[in-house]
Structure formats: C-alpha cells, structure tokens
Amino acid sequence: MVWIHGGGFVAGSGDVQGELFAARGVVFVSINYRLGPLGFFGHPALEGPVANFGLLDMVMALEWVRDNISAFGGDPGRVTVFGVSAGGMAVSMLLANDAAQGLFHGAIAQSGYGTWALPRTVNAPAPAPLDMYLNPAQSAESLARQLIERVSPDAETAEDLRALDALALMRAVEGFHLPLVDGATLPEEPGILFLAGEQHDVPVMTGGNSFEGMIMPVSGISVEEYVRIWDVDYPAARTLYRDDFDKSPEIGVKRLFGDNRYLLAARTLALGMARKSSPAWLYYLDLPAFGPPNDSPGAPHGYDRRLLFSGADLPDAGQRALAGRLLGYWLDFARNGNPNREARLQWPEYREDDDRWLVFGIKDEVRRGIARERLDFIEARYRKRIRSAATPADQR
C-alpha cells in the first residue's frame, strides 16, 4: 500500500505510522513529493509542457515500487495507492495520468477534489471548462507570474527562477496550492476524464466526510468569496442547506463548500467507474469528532486519516471499534481488490440507479442517496461549468 500524504499541496510529509499496516501483513510505502510552486508551477520561462513536477515524483516512486518492492516482501502486481485530501487528489490525478498506467492495481481516493476547477497552461486542451465563478479558466502562467511578483519582481528567466529562495517561494503561496492541467502530466481535470471513462481501469474506493467544510478557513477561500462564487445560485443553496444556515451562516457556507469540493468529487469518480470494467465503492464518514475540533457538526475533513492511523488511541470505545472496521475494509481492498469479507457488513458496489453508500459511524449502515438533493444541485452547476470541455457522452 502506497500512502500519498495530504496538506493542500503546500505541506505534509510521508512520516506516518506505517507500522500499523505492516503489523497486519502489508508492505507499507509512504512517499514525499515536491510541494507548492516547486511541485506545481506553470511559469512561461520554464522549458517544456510539464507543470506538475510533484505528480512526476509520485509516478517515479511507483516505478521504484514496481522495480524494488519484491525485495521487501511486496507484490509488484498488487499495489494500492491511497491518500486523504491533497493525497486523495493525487490518487485522482494518478488515475488520469498516462505514465502511471499499470503501476498500481487499486486506488483509494479519500476526500479528493477532482471536480474542482484547476488553472490551465497554454498546453492544456481546448475548449476549456470555466472556473469556479463560471468565468474563463485561470491561466497557470498568469498565476505563476503573480506569485513570482511577491518574491522577486525582476525574476523572468528560468535561471532567475531557479536562483530564488525556495522557502520564500513557498511562503508566497496563500492558502492551498493547486495542480495544473498541462496537457502532459494531467491531460484534463480529473472529473471530466472520469465522466468520459478515460481513467485507469482499476478498482476504486472513494468517499468523504459529513463536515468536510471544517477545512475552509485554511484553504485560502473566505466565506465572503465563496458566497460570491455561487452568485445567483446562492439563495437556492441557502434553501437546500437551511438546517445548517439556521445554526449560523458560516456553518451553512462551510457545509456547502465541503460537499462541493469533496463529496461531489467522490460521487463523480464512482459514477465514472461505470464506464470501466472495474467496480467502485463509495463511503460517507458521519460521526462527531472526538476532541478538537469538538465544535464540528459532523466528521471534519481528515478525520478518516485520524481513524486509520491513530484511531486505536482514541479514548472512546465506539470510535476505536470504528477505526478497526475502517482499517479492515482498507486492508481487504488492498489484498483482494474488494473491501468485503463474510464477517463484515457488505459494502455494495456503487451504481447510479440505487446510489448506495456505506455510512461509517458508531454503527455502520448502507444508505441510499446520501445528500442526494444537495449533491444533485451542486452537480448541475458543475455540469454547467464543464459543459464546453465535456464530450457529448458526458452530458447526460
């Protein structure tokens, strides 16, 4: 199992408790990759079409696993990639990356965001989807120039860029950093490729949490800006999220943000797998967090990572038991390409017609139509955003 860490593509590391997996018979690999503008950067002074250098790092790590993991007792023919948040997005990008073909045989994208609008380089395909405001897509080259202006306005050549202070360059990033559609390492936004069935044909587990929007304050997007993104659709969103807005406008906006960024992406990936021969399983983690942030009205962003890597240390017995079940599903998926075994609640393969999710909580259950009305509303706006870039088959 190859772990790809999260951190908004600006932070994080592969320093995790892999021994928890190793103790259960898994050969566990965690990797590092270039972050921020060191890893994802589309400045016009750089040579060649590649802009996602961090993604190439991940591909190279998987090539190393293929070539060397048997020396550690691993099976190069049974590799599963998994990650949360930016790590989940990385898994989505690997599913769409040609060079990663055959390097992994199962994928777990936890709270990825493959349906989020990405900046585009001049090498990205046309016509382009719109941005989150339903305006023309952001230029990766313009964003790179703006970033360099904050560090060294006179830096123009590739030599100038490589001479910059790396720490200053990283600190110039505000909020999370985004990968880029460069037409080379990422031929299009992952969600668009998933709906066209152009991802790798491997079994997939994907999902998200009930209050993903807890992460919004550090994302670089303010409540006010996110309201502007929704524009004329905002009143309808408020109506759909009435229960949350009744608690506070901030909770309402955060729930909308989390569903839009993470849950829609999970459902879209699961939906796209219907165009392939491999199955998908969709999950939803829904329980209050234990300890900070204890004001979360649901499972906050990244709580599944906490359960997987440190759930056995939680003081609550119910959550410790959940952590054990969660790990069991993940391990069985990695071993067999299927998360189910006889002694456990059976997790159905995802089908659009019945829309069944496995809901993880103190008591797990299979449910139909998780947040369906809200996600259908968000998806309608997403389809409008990508309409110009989607193929006719995608526009159901």
Query: How, if at all, do strands 356-360 and 280-285 pair?
Result: parallel
The answer to whether 85 is a known catalytic residue is yes
Tokens representing 277 are 């021969």
Name the active-site residue from 30, 85, 111, 210.
Answer: 85
β-partners of residue 300 are 211
- Choose among 210, 212, 295, 208: nearest CA to 254: 212
Q: CA-CA distance, 377 to 237, in Å (whole number)?
A: 8
Residue 295 one-letter amino acid: D
Q: CA-CA distance, 262 to 140, in Å (whole number)?
A: 23
Q: CA-CA distance, 113 to 90, in Å (whole number)?
A: 9
Give the residue numbers marked as catalytic: 85
